[in-house]
Amino acid sequence: MNDLTTFTGGCHCGAVRYRVLVEKLAAIDCNCSICQKKGFIHLIVPADRFTLLQGQDELSTYTFNTGTAKHLFCRNCGIHSFYRPRSHPDGYDVNVRCLDDKAIDLFATSQFNGAKWEENIDEIRDYK
């Protein structure tokens, strides 16, 4: 196994905080309707590499379409800093924009055509 890099992050108001262990500094920029509106840059990790440090009671959930993805956001400031993705429902998807200390500058980002999710999902099934 490669070395893991630890990052922390959270929402704008600081009520929600988490730690994530990352194997590859690679992220996904999706063009689906919700990712475009949220500005979400995806970092998908297995559940055992994500720890919610604080703010469980501050989270609200939004679902749509199949209801599989659990789009979590801080009920105070509205920021979507992570969620449970439809593509990897047993993992977590962290918004690289919400990692501390401009960590986004360390990540290589690839494009994903989520606007045609069903046709392209196999491109990221093994992503973690």
Kindly indicate the confidence band of residue 94, based on its pLDDT and cuts at 50, 70 and 90: very high
Contacts of 33 (CB under 8 A, 6+ apart): 115
Residue 128, domain member (yes or no):
no
Query: 65 is in which domain, residue-wise?
Result: 5-123
pLDDT at 47: 96
CA distances from 50 to 42, 64, 114 (A): 14, 24, 24
Closest CA to 69 of 88, 51, 55, 53: 88
Q: Encoding tokens for residue 24?
A: 């590859």
The size of the chain, in residues, is 128
Structural domains in the chain (count):
1
* Overall average pLDDT of the 98-115 stretch: 89
pLDDT at 113: 67
Q: What is the mean pLDDT of the chain?
A: 89
- 65 assigned to some structural domain: yes
> Residue 55: inside a domain, yes or no?
yes
The CATH number linked to 84 is 2.170.150.70
User: Which residue did the predictor score with more confidence, 50 or 111?
Assistant: 50
Nearest residue to 15 (alpha-carbon basis) of 101, 63, 81, 62: 81
For residue 98, pLDDT over 80 is answered with: yes
Q: Lowest-pLDDT range, 44-53, 60-69, 80-89? A: 60-69
Instruction: Judge whether residue 123 has pLDDT over 60.
Output: yes
Domain assignment present for residue 40? The answer is yes
Q: Is 33 inside any structural domain? A: yes
The answer to the question of residue 53 being in a domain is yes
Asked if pLDDT for residue 52 goes beyond 80, the answer is yes
Asked if residue 19 is part of any domain, the answer here is yes
pTM for the structure as a whole: 0.87
